Amino acid sequence: MKAACEVCGGPIRTAPNRVEIDGAVMVVCNGCSKLGRSVSGPILRETHAVRPIQQANYRPAPKVAEPEYEIDPDYNVMIRQAREKMGLSQEDLGRILNEKPSVIRMVESKKLKPDPVLTRKLTHHLKVTLLIPLSELEGGKTGI
């Protein structure tokens, strides 16, 4: 049995391509494979007997929900206070964290939000808790 393209009906000369077109997975010829998004995986032999309903309705699984944390809005104050308590200058802290002093300065003046890596370094070296759960931020801290 010769495979036929499910889009144009022409014979598939090369290896059949499986592509997703408008949510439906179809076996198409090389020319029509450009119309859809290619789907990896083995080609089902029983394509004609069993409609690939499950695949047509396939939705990517939602990302595993990580606990969401937000940097404390007072991070600049917390970092500056923790640094001063340890008797470190911005240059000292920059050296310890392997960051430019200008980065420390910008963080402490709230011009720069520390990225996850810098946050982790600050948390580790200054022993401050900069990350608070998003739920706590929305629920508990609304009233100022």
> What residues from 1 to 40 belong to the interface with Zn ion (CB under 5 A)?
5, 7-8, 28-29, 32
21, containing H or E segment: strand 17-21
Cα–Cα distances (Å) from 137 to 35, 89, 131, in that order, read 46, 30, 10
117 contacts Zn ion (rule: CB under 5 A): no
Q: Residues 114, 122: contact at Cβ < 8 Å?
A: yes
d(CA 99, CA 126): 14
In whole angstroms, the minimum distance from the beta carbon of 58 to Zn ion comes to: 22
In whole angstroms, the minimum distance from the beta carbon of 32 to Zn ion comes to: 3
Site string for Zn ion, 58-77 (x = CB under 5 A): --------------------
Closer to Zn ion at the Cβ: 29 or 93? Answer: 29
In whole angstroms, the minimum distance from the beta carbon of 52 to Zn ion comes to: 18
In whole angstroms, the minimum distance from the beta carbon of 14 to Zn ion comes to: 11
d(CA 144, CA 142): 6
Applying CB under 5 A, the residues found at the interface with Zn ion are 5, 7-8, 28-29, 32
